[in-house]
Structure 1
Amino acid sequence: MRKAIAISLFVCVLGTLFSVNASLGSDRPLRIGVEGALAPFNYTDPSGKVVGFDVELTDAILDASGLTGEWIRQDWDGLIPGIIAGKFDIVSATVSITEERKKRVDFTDPLYRTSIRFVAAKGAFLDDRNSTLRGKRLGAQRATVSSAHLQKHYPDSEVVLYDTQDALRLDLIAGRIDALIADQIATEDSFLKKPEGTGYEFFGSVIKPDDGIGIVLPKGHDELMQRLNSGIATIRSNGKFDQISEKYFGDTDLR
């Protein structure tokens, strides 16, 4: 039984290695995993096309690296398992670089940095201390740095996890949770600036819980890593990064 499992794992890893290496030596585009549900970073437009900051940034990196890609939508909690299983060659979906994730996958150099913040009904909370939120129901999307932050720092609160940001926000509006925590820019763009977010506000501190956002690769793909990192350096030096960033975020500094 153990021998059969070991053989299966070897075949899976070998298949992933062959798939990515083959794409580097051929005209086949890289398969890029993306959630497509976190505006303005990556989301789906009315025509069904995946668009957003992550998409334009990654396409520019690939172009500078002499590579091409095709975007494949996947639920958030299936992205890293998908790349490990060989479904994708890379993942670019506002994935935070964390020590826990680096045990399973590799990351490029950081692309940019974002923050997470709490949101609740206006005037509900003055700060985000553990004592203030003791006994409260706090929500986050599962398998994110936001959910990890809640589970680590709020042992006296009830942590409620959701598959999507939409479900998370709907439960806040319905009063089923007292506060949520999520990416600051995405929450402001997709919730607080919308009519449904009128009665809500950020509260507490601005939290930077990770080492930045990177492109995810399977373990051991050094050639692809080098080419992507070279592309990242190129778009930083030639002004392309700043051009794309300004289009989506104005003068907000994401570096």
Structure 2
Amino acid sequence: MSSEEMVYDMSGARLALTLCITKGREGAEPDIAALERMYRALRFESTVKRDPPAQGFRDEVVHFREEMEKRTDPISCCFVVLMAHGKEGRLLGADGQVVELEELYDVLTNKTCRALLGKSKVFILQACRGDQKDTGEMLRTEQVLTTMFQELPKIPTFTDTLHVYPTVEGYIAYRNVKKGSCFIQTLVDVFITGKSNILDLLTEVTRRMTEAELVWEGQVRKVNPEIYSTLRKQLYLQ
């Protein structure tokens, strides 16, 4: 395989959709502003929707897909950023009702969105995944995991997707009411300045977040993002 075949072609359009609950989520606006700055720096066409109801989350993602399907120019990549209160696998809309994350993910797969067939689809979440709080542990050991990928003549339905969560399952995602969330602010800073592929950039995001000490309810908390990737190639944003 040539080096070109190992990297996603980013010469086409780059599209971004941000769905954000701002009501009862002080600090959401600084996160939106940071994301918009990142989109401009990385040449993404951006759409922002504030305070959608639960059904509105799915409707907006479906509309996002429909607009992509209408385009005649090639699309290289999409970002979908979802910011709301939540529990594991669920988000709360502005109406207090629940939307399942899997319902949103299923709208943009290789099967359901032909415009993004074989193209990179990045989902970024800023929402709690539970109520647990991490106070941290003394560093003892470090493990390095490697994953081998093998291309097939047909690509599976759920490849070329990246899910980035602000915390691990069951834990709180912290947000400063004035400065925004540690996760979004760190991610934007790394994505704007970094030149590596996106998984290396996310490793840097993780490193910075693990070094940060967040004060919550008078106590120091620790937090790290969690990343699920089915990307088949390297994805460079710069």
Q: TM-score, normalised by structure 1?
A: 0.28
Which of the two has higher C-alpha Rg? 1
More helix by share: 1
Which structure exhibits the higher relative contact order, with contacts defined as CA atoms closer than 8 Å and separated by 6 or more residues? 1
